[in-house]
Structure 1
């Protein structure tokens, strides 16, 4: 299955990095988060990627066109550096299509603009480019295929909690209480889609709003609730958390390293 990755957002809540580089290129260790995500999909055999580019898409193109295998693979150097022998390779069998989908386009419009690169695909995957998981992808796909849904998403319990406020019309608070993270699930991406999704997206639509509402009305949206690891890189705090996990070798999303 082809994998569409939405790489065009501005990343406004990660200003410490996204003022200079797009959020998909923010590093975890020596590789950017989008590489970790693509490596995850490749582990399960899905190596044909379509990158829907927007903000600083030129930097994402440059990163891959000047990709340096030696940064994340063991190698032997000889002849004064003129000969490099890699012990293994990351992306030699990946196919990556780079598509400019506009600076301010939403996800629905970005998906419409890469449609021509999905011709002949009865089903494909799509995802945000700023979150990682250890979700058993084959099981996720199989659940989707067994369903009659046009779209399937992964849902996780949020890692945050909120104070819920109820009030009267004049603003007087009548109750206030904490909603714990265990009480509701959120959309975490990792979408599986059938080609019929394009019949439900109109010009200007945001993918997970009106198109998904139309699927819900037809009982054609499926969810896979997952309680394992998932974490978005949405803020600088998330970036620090990922760096610390990588530094101590606690990287559950690196399913390719598990035996």
Structure 2
């Protein structure tokens, strides 16, 4: 199917210079309670989908040059409870993508390989997940708009980077988990389950076995949604971020100067 998509793009447009692997689905449930068959099916999309897409894309990009962008998650760096299979699949995506990047660099292939790691995003991720819990799950705050991820992907297509965190919370969570793993585990033990559960009874939703419907971009069920991420903006547009910081510093300097003048005159 992915080869057919590439062939159609080549036939219609003469080729492509950017390929984004973004297919994904999740399971909610404790690791030992989720049937192994469903865990394997999740890997069929989350891991093997990325592998198949990458292999197809690289065959073309090796000759033409361009960007391969794989979407993973903050959960490729750390783990949370209730989504063990999803976490494992994202760790696998990271390992495969990092190895592929090294191999392409060894070949001197003109292909950039980027991992984009979103935080919680206001999509229908939860609604489409297979749920083995008694209650409806939710995404813990903070939750970001889909545009935060889309703009990060667009930027890395033209400005190659190794990794990009879409949402400052993603970067913070990864740093915390790596810097203080025992403390992180203790916090997840106390808060990780509660932070992902609502008091609502479980609703039917299972894009694991059937494709999702509706084509809605946003869920609208996650409370406050952050439309921008200053961290991601600063990482992808360092000059603009530097200008903004200089502007803030200038405002603070002017305010301090005025206060100094008033106090001196007084």
Quickly name the TM-score band, shorter chain normalised: under 0.3
- In terms of fraction of residues, the more helix-rich structure is 2
Higher relative contact order (CA 8 A, sep 6+): 1
- In terms of fraction of residues, the more strand-rich structure is 1
Instruction: Report the structure number with the largest CA radius of gyration.
Output: 2
TM-score of the superposed pair, with normalisation by structure 1: 0.27
